[in-house]
Amino acid sequence: MGHSLDGQVALVTGGARGLGYDISRALIAEGATVVMMARDPNITAAAAAELGAVAMPGSVTSEQDVAGIFAAINERFGRFDILVNNAGIGGPAAPVEQVTAAQWSEVIDINLTGAFLCAREAVKMMKPAQRGRIVNISSMAGRIGYALRSPYGASKWGMIGFSRALAAELGAYNVCVNSVLPGAVEGDRIDRVIRDRAAAMDVPESAVRGDYVKAAVLRRMVRASDISAMVVFLCGEGGANITGQAIEISAGSYL
């Protein structure tokens, strides 16, 4: 069986750990050359060495960092095919009246503005080439009302709207843009979310975890590999006519 992404160059933001690491791994397994972007240079270098990726540390909130990384990609590879906007933070788990303006701005800047900055640079290479795939990692929090997580929810709703707008704008250039909406993904991040949410609600962590599981019709959380598989599909030939979509991978969750 051949590699579906042979010869293609991808950038995964927040690619050095968690879901981003698994997405990077999956793209590499399909033959793509992956550039891994994350803020911590040591963690980024170590993760890239493990997977055989290219480490380019930087912050998605820095116009200078983003522009510099895309310039380096163009100089080194002379092409660019896939952008996965995965970098993000959970932000505070608190009632809206307790959320500070600084906390709100930090979540929006990283989760949404960072995706905009990267997409803006990616499009400059994709349009002339008349090809490309952009996958924005949103969340089920971008589809439902998510109490105690207002900045996060707003950023992920915004990601879906941004994806739809880009899809409409770039369709004439053969660039497909979609958002992927994970439900609760097993791993360190959901563990932190559960801990913080339990503290904000003054309930046991086991109760919050149980709520997530019960809210999914399959009665389980999803795996990082489930999300990675969809990203690979959207970036391959199977995704050639899929654009402007918000695709839920949530085990049928309504939470």
Q: What is the pLDDT of residues 56-77, one digit of tens each?
A: 999 999 999 999 999 999 999 9
pLDDT at residue number 2: 58
Q: Which domains does the chain have, with CATH numbers?
A: 9-183+223-249 (3.40.50.720)
Quote the CA–CA distance of 144 and 157 in Å, as a whole number. Answer: 9
Report yes or no on whether pTM surpasses 0.85.
yes
Quote the CA–CA distance of 227 and 135 in Å, as a whole number. Answer: 11
The residue annotated as part of the active site, out of 21, 152, 173, 254, is: 152
Q: What is the pLDDT of residues 97-111, one digit of tens each?
A: 999 999 999 999 999
pLDDT at residue number 1: 45
H-state helical runs in the chain: 18-29, 41-51, 63-77, 101-108, 114-129, 150-170, 188-201, 205-214, 224-235
What is the overall mean pLDDT for the chain? 95
- Residue 173 annotated in active site: no
pLDDT at residue number 255: 59
pLDDT at residue number 183: 93
Q: Return the exposure string of 207-222: e unless at least 16 CB atoms fall within 10 Å of the residue's CB, then b.
A: ebbebbeebbeeeebb
Residue 178 is encoded by which pair of tokens? 């979609």
Using CB atoms within 10 Å of the CB of residue 100, give its burial: 0 to 12 exposed, 13 to 18 middle, 19+ buried: exposed
